[in-house]
Amino acid sequence: MNKKLFVLSAASGAGKTTLKDLVIPQIPNICYSISATTRMPREGEIEGVHYFFKSKKDFIEMIKNNELVEWNEVHGNYYGTPKDFVQKKLAEGKKILFDLDVFGKINFDKEYPEAVGILILPPSMEVLKKRLKDRATDNDDTISLRLRNALKEIDFAQKHGKYEYTIINDDLQKATIELKNILLNEVK
């Protein structure tokens, strides 16, 4: 079967965005899904490239109008996958790589059960804490919240998620090769 939908899930700081950014340019005919969010843009993030930035009011309207494949509230902000984006890319014949938290993946699988799940794990919670501190985008309280959530997310993914592959991101080059090989082997 020719797989068209791939879902990366990981706790914040596990490296899924870095891996995605390294691998996407190397895979022909695959694009990255752009999520909608109520989170404020970080420095350098561009509307329609990194996210579709929405007000809370607009996001709630999208929920009410059934315009999202999945959505969730994470760290006090809403995130979701717009249906029209997915449908447009599939109609163009593209394969799509999604970045969804483990809870969003459960809802996504209801709509697209054929999606291939790839779970990215940090080598340890200590390494995850260091990565979150080193990226310097969050204060200590937010980092603590992200670490508590990471434990819950990893436990949930391992017990209830549908992940065909797991990558331990202990070495960026090795993890990049693993992800690329998974996508290339599944895309054939």
Cα dist. 64→33, 58, 124, 141 in Å?
21, 10, 39, 32
What confidence score (pLDDT) does residue 147 get? 83
Fold designation for 5-187 = Rossmann fold (3.40.50)
pLDDT (tens digit, 9 = 90+) per residue, 11-62? 777 778 889 999 999 988 899 999 999 999 988 999 998 899 999 999 999 9
DSSP state of 26: G
The confidence score (pLDDT) of residue 2 equals: 52
Instruction: Give the amino acid at 169.
Output: N
Residue ranges per domain, the chain? 5-187
Beta bridge partners of 73: 78
For 108-131, write each residue's pLDDT tens digit: 999 999 999 999 988 777 877 887
